């Protein structure tokens, strides 16, 4: 059985992190997250705020703040001031959550600190966010440009309840293999066991091969992991919906979606205006 399903939805007190390679990936995923918000607080850079606002077709009640300006207020002497964070950031979150409204926050201050080389400051700020979420229920979406260092990647992931990452690949015969290696390396860094790694390798290889062979399209691979489940998505530029086919008895191909269906707890397709995402969920 397969499903046409929406994006993974965060719960109150979820602390998500996205690692992105392009601004387009960031805007697309963060826009989806904010689109469904009843109330939101966006602390974004000047470069990203207009694009985020343009990505929202029916935004709820959103407070827009500049990441650089807020960072200057909570680091008055070049170091994080927890009291200032509570007053400035906590005050905005508490106001947004008044009356029990579910709040979604998006922040780029940690990424600014990371890009400046202030690794300790970025991780300390993640801790302050976690402490605020313990006091006021809301979900938080952080975003970092891709982090290559394995230790740094693990430290960032450890500060969050869910991790997202996206990679882009060309429509070339070697791309499914490249996607498999990229995905396996990342999942290993996240601490997934061999059983999940083996299943994920098969799933991403088959979905990526479908994008290259059938959609004849460049594609991107995304993951969303929260410990209990792992969601793998492959986005291509073809609107054609995939359908599992019974392969010929002696056929060497045609089993891709049957393999995905057998390995995944569920799988489905999300139609897009410029293509689709075929996704599968594995037990984490």
Q: Is the pLDDT of residue 12 over 80?
A: no
Q: Is the pLDDT of residue 6 over 60?
A: no
Q: Is the pLDDT of residue 31 over 50?
A: yes
According to the model, what pLDDT value does residue 128 have? 97
Residue 153 or residue 139, greater confidence: 139
- Cα separation, 146 vs 19, whole angstroms: 5
* Cα distance from N-terminal residue to C-terminal residue, the chain: 20
Q: Is the pLDDT of residue 148 over 70?
A: no
According to the model, what pLDDT value does residue 248 have? 52
The least confident of 35-39, 40-44, 125-129 is: 35-39
Taking residues 183-201, what's their average pLDDT?
Answer: 90
- Cα separation, 263 vs 50, whole angstroms: 41
Q: What is the pLDDT of residues 122-146, one digit of tens each?
A: 999 999 999 999 999 999 999 998 7
Q: Is the pLDDT of residue 272 over 50?
A: yes
pLDDT band at 189; cut points 50, 70, 90: confident
Taking residues 43-48, what's their average pLDDT?
Answer: 96
Q: Residue 237 in contact with residue 248, Cβ under 8 Å?
A: no
The DSSP string of 26-57 is HHHHHHHHHHT-SEEEEEE-TTTHHHHHHH-S
Enumerate residues 6+ apart whose C-beta is below 8 A from 268.
Answer: 2, 3, 4, 5, 278, 279
Q: Is the pLDDT of residue 56 over 70?
A: yes
Query: For the chain, percent helix, then strand, then coil, each to nearest 5?
Result: 45, 25, 30
pLDDT band at 246; cut points 50, 70, 90: low
H/E element, 177: helix 175-189
Across all residues in the chain, what is the average pLDDT?
A: 88
> Considering the chain, what percentage of its residues have pLDDT values greater than 90?
61
The fold adopted by the segment(s) 163-284 is: Heat Shock Protein 90 (3.30.565)
Residue 1 or residue 90, greater confidence: 90
pLDDT band at 242; cut points 50, 70, 90: confident
Nearest to 71 by CA among 23, 9, 114, 40: 114
Q: Where in the chain is the domain with CATH 3.30.565.10?
A: 163-284
Q: Where in the chain is the domain with CATH 3.40.50?
A: 1-160
The fold adopted by the segment(s) 1-160 is: Rossmann fold (3.40.50)
According to the model, what pLDDT value does residue 9 have? 53
Backbone angles phi, psi at 199, to 5 degrees: -65, -40
Backbone angles phi, psi at 222, to 5 degrees: -130, 150
């Amino acid at each position: 059985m397969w499903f046409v399903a929406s994006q993974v939805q965060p719960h109150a007190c979820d602390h998500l992190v996205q690692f992105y390679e392009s601004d387009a990936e960031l805007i697309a995923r963060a826009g989806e997250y904010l689109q469904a918000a009843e109330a939101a607080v966006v602390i974004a850079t000047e470069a990203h705020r207009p694009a985020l606002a343009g990505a929202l077709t029916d935004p709820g009640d959103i407070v827009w703040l500049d990441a650089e300006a807020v960072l200057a207020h909570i680091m008055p002497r070049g170091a994080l001031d927890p009291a200032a964070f509570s007053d400035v950031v906590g005050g905005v979150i508490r106001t947004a959550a008044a009356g029990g409204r579910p709040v979604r926050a998006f922040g780029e201050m940690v990424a600014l600190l990371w890009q400046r080389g202030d690794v300790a400051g970025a991780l300390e700020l993640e801790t302050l966010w976690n402490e605020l979420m313990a006091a006021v229920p809301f979900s938080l979406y952080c975003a970092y440009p891709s982090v290559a260092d394995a230790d740094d990647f693990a430290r960032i992931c450890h500060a969050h309840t869910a991790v997202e990452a996206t990679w882009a690949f060309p429509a070339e015969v070697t791309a499914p293999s490249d996607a498999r290696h990229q995905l396996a390396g990342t999942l290993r860094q996240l601490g997934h066991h061999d059983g999940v790694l083996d299943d994920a390798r098969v799933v991403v290889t088959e979905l990526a091969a479908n994008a290259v062979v059938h959609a004849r399209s460049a594609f991107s691979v995304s993951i969303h992991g929260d410990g209990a489940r792992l969601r793998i998505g492959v986005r291509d530029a073809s609107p054609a919906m995939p359908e599992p086919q019974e392969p010929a008895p002696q056929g060497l191909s045609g089993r891709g979606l049957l393999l995905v269906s057998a390995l995944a707890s569920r799988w489905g397709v999300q139609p897009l205006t410029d293509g689709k995402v075929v996704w599968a969920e594995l037990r984490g």
